[in-house]
């Protein structure tokens, strides 16, 4: 699948780069030459803002050489050369340099674009403990007496209260991009300047750093950067000095990180001596969407004393979006993380059910089991909860209700599963009662339409409800989040229950959870059974079997692959992306697996089904929220049942 040239601006992205260059201590011409080379390379790769480490023009570890006017003069000459270099480059350059003003020396970040220094940001917090003694040379921003500084013969904005902003607009999008700059220790302070910058509108923070390495510090630093991006609902680009800095007493390793809202997009390899460029596309649109939906963030916004500096940020056409593309966003990619996530999700489900059992003082449950994935997971939750509460497993009434399309295979799976888990098992056929119902309403059983299918689902629900009444029990729902999103249930049939333990679990995650149970919590015989169930095609088994007794009805042939619908669901509800962006991300995540027309077709179906079935969600039963995407009308998702889908569907149709 070929991807055409993409406009970063149209899709709400800004491409950033963090560069750890080769350098020589106090050799400004060499350092400037390497900065120029890396800047050009990053710009050629589409980077719109390129960040270098703290004091990168001179090197951080110059110590008392910072007092030398020769070094300071060379630094200004180097900045002038970088300004000239930037005249023909579309990227913004941020470098570190020692600069003096009014008898004081400052550790500064210099923001350069199109031949000009746009602003100079001095460091606020100067470490003067352990191996650090910056107060020996530098003054803090708090000591600053003027709002401008003379650099390279020009007066430019000066202060830690600078924000750099450009307003983008086009026919299809309007994205305001704003960034702030802080330096090393500023991040480690109890109240980081970047917090106020973010509350004043900065979506991205750039940090020029010179953080040395000691045991365990890299992990702490990684968490610090990642969590600051999460707290600020922003992106954080962190660039630290590399191994060419002095090793007289400490070692530097060139650790760079690009994080977005708690997620690491890119990270460099440490302890390298060659120049490294770390690059990623920051999703400014997603950050803005999260901010205006977060009432706590909105409540903290106030009129801060920041000076906004206009910056030119030209759009870029690129071939691909440079960030992780996960086809299954609900399922962690790594085995370790996936196992941890499954354990937590399963605990959430079981705790939710246990709370409901404790409140109702109920020791009996009724659940319909089909031999399919959803009912298998729900039954596993019931069994684990009963064991945890030391309740008799025979209080779980697992009922198989074969109908016109039930295959021998799934029928056997249901019985074997109940036997393996040692719960009460009953088989109650719905064939005769459904035929009697057809007779009562005058429906021809040879007409296999929606009446034929839904009558079976409603008959099963009636059986479950009545058996629950017989036993003083309540009915456990088995439907999952994907089915709820697509309306793939019969209203007042399998749509209804007394508690829905799977309502927060998308289909791709249901399969993962059952496999996790098989791998880590099942006997050999149960493990084999669970894995067999996971491998079977998904089917409601409502239409008659073929002459070989095999179900020919496939859910995914009817409504589309669940992996696509789960991808669309996550992109729409978690990030509120528009259809053209969802399609772009799907093209990249599923490259080589689905044609563009196929992705577009099922996205069209997704919107149609999602809008048409809100009435079912508005009357869905209680069930636990599990992840950041949930559809309960009492919690995360409120939508009128009669909302029009035209805007979304038209955009899908015109996206080519």
> Where in the sequence numbering do the catalytic residues fall?
54, 123, 184
- 30 burial (CB, 10 Å; 0-12 / 13-18 / 19+) is middle
SS (H, E, C) 339-378: HHHHHHHHHHHHHHHHHHHHHHCCCCEEEECCCCHHHHHH
Residues 6+ apart with CB under 8 A from 167: 174, 176
Closest CA to 226 of 255, 190, 262: 262
Q: Cα–Cα–Cα angle for 255, 258, 259, nearest 5°?
A: 120
Residue 450 CA to residue 6 CA, distance in Å, equals 43
Alpha-carbon 339 to chain mean position:
18
List beta partners, residue 237: 206, 258
Residue 214 CA to residue 232 CA, distance in Å, equals 27
322, containing H or E segment: none
DSSP for 464-517? HHHHHHHHT-EEEE---HHHHHHT-S-TTTTT--SEETTTT--HHHHHHHHHHH
Residue 279, SS3? strand
| Alpha carbon separation from 449 to 311, 544, 637 (Å, rounded) | 62, 12, 31
Radius of gyration of the chain (CA): 30
Residue 474 CA to residue 452 CA, distance in Å, equals 27
Residue 226 CA to residue 237 CA, distance in Å, equals 10
User: What φ, ψ does residue 280 adopt, rounded to 5°?
Assistant: -160, 160
CB atoms within 10 A of CB 310: 10
Q: Please say whether the beta carbons of 605 and 15 come within 8 A.
A: no
Residue 557, SS3? helix
| Alpha carbon separation from 296 to 150, 160, 195, 232, 290 (Å, rounded) | 40, 25, 14, 11, 11
612, containing H or E segment: helix 596-612
Residue 291, SS3? helix
DSSP for 223-274? HHHHHHHHHTTSEEEEEE--TTS--SS--B---EEEEETTEEEEEPPSS--S
Report the Cα–Cα distance between both ends of the chain, in Å, rounded: 13
Alpha-carbon 531 to chain mean position:
29
Residue 175 CA to residue 203 CA, distance in Å, equals 11
């Amino acid at each position: 699948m070929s991807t055409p040239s993409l406009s970063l601006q149209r899709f709400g992205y800004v491409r950033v780069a963090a560069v750890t260059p080769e350098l020589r201590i106090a050799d400004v011409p060499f350092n400037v030459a390497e900065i120029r080379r890396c800047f050009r390379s990053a710009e050629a790769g589409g980077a719109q803002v390129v960040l270098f480490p703290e004091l990168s023009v001179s090197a951080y570890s110059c110590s008392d050489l910072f007092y030398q006017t020769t070094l300071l003069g060379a630094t200004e000459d180097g900045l002038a050369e970088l300004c000239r270099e930037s005249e023909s480059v579309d990227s913004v350059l941020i470098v570190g340099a020692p600069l003096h003003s009014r008898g004081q020396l400052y550790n500064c970040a210099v923001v350069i674009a199109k031949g000009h220094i746009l602003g100079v940001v001095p460091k606020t917090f100067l470490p003067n403990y352990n191996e650090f003694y910056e107060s020996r040379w530098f003054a803090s921003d708090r000591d600053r007496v003027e709002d401008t500084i003379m650099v390279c013969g020009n007066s430019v904005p000066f202060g830690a209260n600078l924000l750099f902003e450009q307003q983008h607009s086009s026919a299809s999008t309007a994205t305001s991009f704003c960034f702030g700059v802080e330096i090393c220790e500023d991040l480690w302070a109890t109240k980081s300047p970047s917090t106020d910058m973010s509350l004043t509108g900065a979506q991205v923070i750039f940090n020029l750093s010179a953080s040395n390495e000691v045991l365990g510090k890299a992990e702490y630093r990684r968490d610090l950067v990642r969590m600051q991006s999460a707290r600020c609902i922003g992106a954080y680009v962190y660039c630290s000095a590399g191994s060419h800095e002095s090793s007289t007493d400490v070692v530097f390793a060139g650790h760079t990180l690009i994080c977005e809202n708690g997620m690491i997009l890119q990270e460099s390899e440490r302890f390298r001596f060659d120049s490294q460029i770390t690059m990623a596309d920051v999703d400014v649109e997603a950050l803005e969407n999260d901010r205006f939906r977060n009432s706590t963030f909105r409540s903290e916004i106030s009129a801060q004393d920041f000076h906004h500096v206009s910056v030119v940020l030209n759009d870029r056409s690129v071939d691909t979006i440079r960030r992780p593309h996960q086809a299954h966003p609900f399922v962690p990619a790594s085995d370790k993380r996936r196992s941890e996530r499954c354990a937590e999700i399963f605990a959430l489900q079981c705790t939710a059910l246990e709370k409901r059992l404790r409140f109702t003082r109920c020791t009996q449950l009724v659940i319909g089991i089909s031999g399919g994935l959803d009912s298998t997971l729900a039954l596993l939750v019931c069994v684990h909860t009963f064991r945890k509460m030391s309740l008799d497993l025979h209080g779980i009434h697992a009922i198989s209700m074969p109908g016109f399309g039930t295959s021998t295979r799934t029928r056997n799976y249901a019985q074997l599963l109940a036997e393996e888990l040692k719960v009460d098992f009953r088989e109650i056929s719905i064939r005769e009662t459904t035929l009697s119902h057809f007779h009562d309403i005058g429906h021809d059983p040879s007409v296999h339409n929606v009446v034929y299918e839904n009558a079976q689902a409603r008959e099963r629900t009636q059986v479950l409800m009545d058996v629950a009444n017989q036993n003083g029990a309540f009915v456990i729902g088995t439907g999952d989040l994907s089915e709820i999103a697509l309306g793939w249930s019969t209203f007042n049939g399998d749509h209804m229950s007394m508690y829905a333990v799977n309502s927060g679990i998308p289909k791709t995650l249901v399969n993962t959870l059952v496999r996790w149970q098989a791998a880590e919590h099942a006997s050999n015989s149960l493990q084999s059974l669970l894995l067999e169930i996971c491998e079977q095609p998904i089917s409601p088994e409502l239409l008659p079997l073929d002459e070989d007794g095999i179900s020919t009805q496939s859910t995914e042939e009817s409504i589309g692959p669940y992996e696509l619908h789960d991808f669309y669901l996550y992109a729409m509800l978690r990030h509120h992306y528009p259809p053209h962006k969802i399609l772009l991300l799907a093209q990249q995540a599923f490259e080589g697996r689905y044609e563009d027309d196929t992705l577009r077709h099922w996205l069209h179906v997704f919107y149609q089904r999602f809008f048409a079935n809100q009435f079912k969600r508005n009357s869905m039963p209680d069930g636990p929220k599990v992840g950041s995407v949930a559809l309960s009308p009492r919690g995360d998702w409120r939508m009128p049942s009669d909302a029009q889908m035209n805007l979304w569907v038209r955009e899908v149709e015109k996206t080519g």
